Structure 1
Amino acid sequence: MSAPARYATPRDPRFRTYGGKVATLGAAMGLPLMPWQRQVADVALEVDDAGVYRYGLVVITVQRRAGKTSLLRPVFAHRALTVPRARLWVTAQQRQDAADTWTDTADTIEESPLGPLVRRRSANGQEKLSFPGGGTLRPFNAGSRRAMHGKDSDLVLIDEAFAFSEEEGDVILQAIVPTMATRPGAQLWIVSTAGTAASTWLREYVRQGRAGTNVKACYFEWSIPEDTEDLTDLDVYAAHHPAIGHTIRPDALADAAGRMKPHEFARAYGNFWVSSDEWAIAPSLWNGARTLAPLVDGASVAFAAEVAADRSGGVIAACGHLDDGRQAVEIVQTGDGIGWMAPRLRELSERHRPAAVVIDPSSPAGPVHRALSDHMAARGRWLPLAPFGTDELVDAHGEFLDALTTGTLAHRSSSVLDAAVRVTGARTVREQVVWSRVCGEDGASPAALFAAMLAHHGVLHPVPSAKPELTVG
């Protein structure tokens, strides 16, 4: 037995399937199918009365270490052996990732009883595994519109599709779809773990799959529930991971949890979307962190400022502590323009003696940062203005999500924060996904969420006290 799918296209017994043939082939290759893999194969490989595959699109979203690509190896082999001159392709977020997946598949086939029947070319850029009957398996570059120009395809695997934005996904489809036009029964398999706020292409397939709105596609998902209250409870992960008890041990989850950031562990081993299709943070995660409790007076606090991308207004946020020991963020003030922000931050600093005042000097709030710096230089009055750059931005983003995921951070319920979460997009900085400052289509700004994130960073990284000579005056 294995964990049941949370969403799955049902098997239609009216149609025969090649699932059993693939399972037999997998066992001969040393890859016996786990129950979840057999379930997918039985449905995805249903054929109509003419022997044509019923589903042109197969979408599988499942946790890491579940055996996503090991399922595809016997599927590839079966297609190559049963379709004359089959054209099989694999791609991923980078060409090297696709080449690695191809290499693993080629190794498995060569080491199986099929080994004597295949021929392999491994030259970089010319990788090809050839089968009897003229079938071939090759990797291709997902980023090139011309990667498949003039080619045919019977089966294409897109691995770890979470890595693609909507625009990048469209480029891939423009390369793939025309190659299937003259191949009856051609299939596209999209396989992935849950993504991030930047995974807009995969997210749409997940939305359609859960709703069952695409009758030409079959969809399968194994994941922890969206309303999971404790995202650190490993028993929840074990109960929903389909390879537990088959190819991985429960204690492997604890090992992974100890080595990964909490929000990344939830995504990888829970197949949990920390972001959603409408919010930068999954509604279950965000709503679970709401509080109406006030910040504790006298406890350590940090302030932060952020300005809308068009500099039409700004936000000041604070991060402090609750009576229950959690940290909490709240919106202190919003306003039009930015001239009010530096004086207000000076006033707050004099009253509350914050651990840090955090402003990104390279952001639209740069003028506020300069005004405070100039004030310190001119008046000799010190403020705990935190150093902040790209490294700190990446860290602050991960720290904020980790704290929400582990339940150590709350947010004082605010319509301003909720609106910011709804419009916040994503971008990539140094190969890390972080939130974007770009306003939403309706002009709404994510500034409040950024201010809250920066304030939280300030509490975690207090600014050391000033040297005596800087406090004179």
Structure 2
Amino acid sequence: MESRTSPLGLLGGRRPRVDTQPASVDSYGPETIELMRRAGMPLDTWQEDSITAMLAVREDGRWACFEFCEWVSRQNGKGCLLEARALAGLLLIGERLIMWSAHEYKTAMESFRRVIWLVGRLGTKLNDNLYDLDGVLLKVINTNGEESIERLDTGARIKFVARSKGSGRGFSGDVNLIDETFAYTFVQQSALMPTMSARPNPQIVYTSSPPLTGDTGEVMYLLRHRGDPTAPRGADDEPWEQDPALGYRDWGLGGGLDLLDGVDLDDLLLWAAANPSLGIRISVEHVRRERRSMPPEDFARERLGIWPRRAGGDTGWQVIAENAWLARQDAQAVMGDPITLAVDVTPDRTWAAIAAAGPRLAGGRVADVIDHRPGTGWVVPRLVELAARHGPLVIVCSDKAVADQAEGAELPDGTKLKVVRAGAADMAAAAAALYDAVAGTAPDLWHLGQPALSTAVAGATQRPIGDGWGWNRRSITVDICPLVAVSLAVWALGTVRLHAPSFTPFALT
């Protein structure tokens, strides 16, 4: 499409932020670009670059990219890439079956109609179901579930399907075009990928905007890990290397949706960098409307292509950023009095933790994991010992069984333990109190850098509790009871209604 300048003279970016390609010697790109020009749909420069990389070949004539990804924000024209690839396979390359799949049936059918329209521009319509392209007859099949375009001379087809667990089984496709990859799952990948195993030169092409949430888009995250040198990586991951069969292009800005504080969402240069069709099919005026009407996170994802942090990924730090946590570390902090104590137990009751919170002698507050051990049998005797020595303002417990055992336990002076049982609302309030104290606008809580606590913070996610949220584990291997215990202790310290008269002054060393 011929470029037109936006009212501000601003045009979209020329190159994607990430562009990694395997080695190649030639490409069917120029022929495909000419085909689209003949159809009256000339490609934008960025689309030409994409098609050329997508259709690059090795010395042996096979595709350089067995897999090819194009991640770009909505309405930039990624659908046109799939149209060009499908028509090239049918009319130029001689591929037998091109499978075009979308997340929803209506999307697949819209693409079907779009390709029929392009066929009509390339040739002559003989009737509602037959087209003549320079002597090549193409038949349009409209039967429900069998929507396709077929060459009558060779039997080659473009078939359009809505994805499901079973869609694609029984088809030996030369090409799979995966539209809306954000909704493409491993189950669907397992149904579609083997369809190409018997073909001599197969290819799979993915197009999408970023995943909607961190717990969706599982295939996209795996592709990103393989294709993007800047993608988050865990400590155990090997350094990135070029995949010998993957082409990968991502126009989205770097960073993550949880790190938007450093991103100027109103910067027009960022809009242009993430949207190659800005000033061509997307106007600055419309992006301004989107900015006004969309929440910042949605605008960042949908228009600037910023990815959400992957849920369950090995990198962790999904709630409190690692840099925010490290900034609150003071391994030499000394706790004054008065203090609070709190207990949490893992759901399977294999571990428990006791934490304390109190004033930091150098200013602010400090939290400490006093004890963290397997099992629960040790908890009540340890609470009796700590209460006798330090006289806490309050003891809070999230576990009913432990709270029942601790309630009324006798101290050496004959007094009884009093325990506050934390309910669901208290757990949400405790999580919020810890988050605000560490990562809020005015953080005032320090920690000692204890590995068990830092590991818990890195491995924690959120779970909904009413209108708020509480701490949740990222995986079954993560023990977050030190974090929950610290959160309850910090919450209790700031909740005056819970406080009982202190027994004795306390200084934790």
| Same fold flag (TM > 0.5) | yes
> Is 1:214 aligned to residue 243 of structure 2?
yes
Alignment of 1:361-440 (within 5 A): 365=399, 367-368=401-402, 383=420, 385-388=422-425, 412=447, 413-420=449-456, 435-436=472-473, 438-440=475-477
Q: Distance in 2 between matches of 1:67 and 1:113?
A: 18
User: What is aligned with 1:445?
Assistant: 479
Are the structure 2 counterparts of residues 464 and 284 from structure 1 closer, same or farther at C-alpha, using a change threshold of 3 Å? closer
Tell me by how many angstroms 1:317 deviates: 6.1
Tell me by how many angstroms 1:8 deviates: 1.4
Say whether the 8 Å CA contact 2:63–2:201 is kept in structure 1. yes
Q: Distance in 1 between matches of 2:37 and 2:359?
A: 55
Q: Distance in 2 between matches of 1:55 and 1:409?
A: 52
Tell me by how many angstroms 1:21 deviates: 2.0
The partner residue of 2:317 within 268, 281, 286 is 281
**Structure 1 letter corresponding to 2:192:** I
Say whether the 8 Å CA contact 2:406–2:419 is kept in structure 1. no
Q: Distance in 2 between matches of 1:257 and 1:407?
A: 27
Tell me by how many angstroms 1:108 deviates: 2.8
Are the structure 2 counterparts of residues 417 and 425 from structure 1 closer, same or farther at C-alpha, using a change threshold of 3 Å? same
* Secondary structure in structure 1 of the residue aligned to 2:206: strand
Tell me by how many angstroms 1:19 deviates: 5.6
User: What is aligned with 1:290?
Assistant: 326
User: What is aligned with 2:157?
Assistant: 135
Are the structure 2 counterparts of residues 266 and 137 from structure 1 closer, same or farther at C-alpha, using a change threshold of 3 Å? closer
Say whether the 8 Å CA contact 1:234–1:254 is kept in structure 2. no
Say whether the 8 Å CA contact 1:278–1:422 is kept in structure 2. no
Q: Distance in 1 between matches of 2:305 and 2:488?
A: 28
Q: Which has the larger radius of gyration?
A: 2
* Secondary structure in structure 1 of the residue aligned to 2:201: coil
* Secondary structure in structure 1 of the residue aligned to 2:51: helix
Say whether the 8 Å CA contact 1:4–1:242 is kept in structure 2. no
Q: Distance in 1 between matches of 2:204 and 2:182?
A: 16
Say whether the 8 Å CA contact 1:290–1:410 is kept in structure 2. no
The partner residue of 1:308 within 324, 339, 346 is 346
Q: Distance in 1 between matches of 2:356 and 2:182?
A: 33
Say whether the 8 Å CA contact 1:180–1:186 is kept in structure 2. yes
The partner residue of 1:105 within 111, 121, 138 is 111
Q: Distance in 2 between matches of 1:366 and 1:130?
A: 65
What are the ranges of 5 or more consecutive residues in structure 1 without an aligned counterpart? 92-96, 360-364, 467-473
User: What is aligned with 2:168?
Assistant: 148
User: What is aligned with 1:258?
Assistant: 295
The partner residue of 2:88 within 78, 81, 93 is 78
* Secondary structure in structure 1 of the residue aligned to 2:160: strand
Superposition RMSD in Å: 5.7
Tell me by how many angstroms 1:2 deviates: 0.6
The partner residue of 1:243 within 275, 283, 289 is 275
Say whether the 8 Å CA contact 1:158–1:190 is kept in structure 2. yes
Q: Distance in 2 between matches of 1:248 and 1:409?
A: 45
Deviations 1:174-224 (A, max 9, x none): 433332134333211234525626766544432322323420221223343
Tell me by how many angstroms 1:45 deviates: 1.2
Q: Distance in 2 between matches of 1:255 and 1:358?
A: 45
Deviations 1:342-379 (A, max 9, x none): 7859969x95579xx684xxxxx45346668999xxx9
Say whether the 8 Å CA contact 1:384–1:463 is kept in structure 2. no
* Secondary structure in structure 1 of the residue aligned to 2:452: helix
**Structure 1 letter corresponding to 2:254:** P
What are the ranges of 5 or more consecutive residues in structure 2 without an aligned counterpart? 1-11, 126-130, 132-138, 230-239, 410-415, 499-509
**Structure 2 letter corresponding to 1:196:** G
User: What is aligned with 1:157?
Assistant: 177
Tell me by how many angstroms 1:58 deviates: 1.2
Are the structure 2 counterparts of residues 109 and 307 from structure 1 closer, same or farther at C-alpha, using a change threshold of 3 Å? same
Tell me by how many angstroms 1:308 deviates: 2.9
Q: Distance in 1 between matches of 2:302 and 2:324?
A: 15
Q: Distance in 1 between matches of 2:58 and 2:247?
A: 15
The partner residue of 1:121 within 117, 142, 146 is 142
Q: Distance in 2 between matches of 1:329 and 1:70?
A: 56
Q: Distance in 2 between matches of 1:172 and 1:42?
A: 28
* Secondary structure in structure 2 of the residue aligned to 1:88: strand
Q: Distance in 2 between matches of 1:385 and 1:291?
A: 29
Identity %, equivalent residues: 16
Q: Distance in 1 between matches of 2:474 and 2:313?
A: 18
- Residue range with higher mean Cα deviation, 289-298 or 218-227: 289-298
**Structure 2 letter corresponding to 1:242:** A
User: What is aligned with 1:470?
Assistant: none
Q: Distance in 2 between matches of 1:121 and 1:198?
A: 32
- Name the structure where helix makes up a greater proportion of residues: 1
Deviations 1:79-111 (A, max 9, x none): 2333354331315xxxxx242431331243345
Deviations 1:15-48 (A, max 9, x none): 133266247628947584362x433222111134
Are the structure 2 counterparts of residues 216 and 283 from structure 1 closer, same or farther at C-alpha, using a change threshold of 3 Å? farther
